[in-house]
Amino acid sequence: MSNIITMNQEELLNRAIANQEKAKRVLMSSGITDVWEQHGCRVNLIGSLRMGLLASHRDIDLHVYSKSITEENSFAIMAQIAKLANVAEIKCINGLHTDEHCMAWHIFYEYEDDIWQIDVIHIEEGTMYDGFFERMSDRIVEVMTPIQRETILRLKFETPIDKDFHGVEYYEAVIADGVANMDEFEEWVIEHRKKPMYYWIP
C-alpha cells in the first residue's frame, strides 16, 4: 500500500472524527436534549453519529420516548425548544395515527455560521419502534469491519451534493452486498429502490 493511499485514508478518518466531535458540541450547546429530559422523556442518540459514521452532512438524529403522546403535549415541548437561542426553524410531520406512533420534528439550528438539522422523533413508549433503530445502529457497529467503515465514509464524502441517498442505503450496500465504489453504489441504489420498503438490520 502506498503512502498516498494511507494518507488519504488517514485524512478521511480524521475528517470524519472532527465532524463527529463538532456534532456532539452542537447537540450539547443546543440544549434540545435537556428540554425533552426535563419533561420526563427518554432521549437516545441514533443514526450516523451514534455509529461513528457521520461524514459531511450536518445532521443529528434523536429518538425521544414518552407515554400518552398527543399533538398538544408534543407541540408544548417544541414551543420551549423554539425559544432556545439559535433555533432558526422547526418543521413537523404528524405520524401519531400511523404504525410509527410518533411526531417527527426537524429542527434547524445555527452553529458557527452553519445550519445543522437535528431530527427528533417523539415516539410513543412501548410501541413497535421503541428501541428498534437503536438496535439497528448497534448491530451495524457490531458487524462492520474497519474496511467497511472506511468505504462507507468515503462514499458519503464522495456523494455529490445533489444526490439524496439514505444513510441505511450506504450501510446495507457496503456491509450486505460488498459495494466498494460510487459507481457500484449508485447502481445498487437504483435496483434497491425498486423493492418494497423495509428496515434493514444486518
- The residue extents of the domains of the chain are 3-130, 144-192
Averaged pLDDT, 17-42: 97
pLDDT tens-digit series, residues 97-136: 999 999 999 999 999 999 999 999 999 999 999 999 999 9
Q: How confident is the model at residue 10 (pLDDT cuts 50, 70, 90)?
A: confident
Alpha helices, H only, 52-131 = 71-82
- The mean pLDDT of the chain is 94
- Predicted confidence at residue 2, as pLDDT, reads 34
pLDDT tens track for 141-189 = 999 999 999 999 999 999 988 898 999 999 999 999 999 999 999 999 9
Q: What are phi and psi of 140, to 5 degrees?
A: -60, -45
Any idea which fold 3-130 has?
Beta Polymerase; domain 2 (3.30.460)
Q: Is the pLDDT of residue 20 over 60?
A: yes
Whether pLDDT at 1 is above 50: no
168-171's contacts with Cβ under 8 Å and 24+ in sequence apart are: 168/136, 168/199, 168/200, 170/53, 171/53, 171/140, 171/144, 171/200, 171/202
Instruction: Give the type of residue at 59.
Output: D
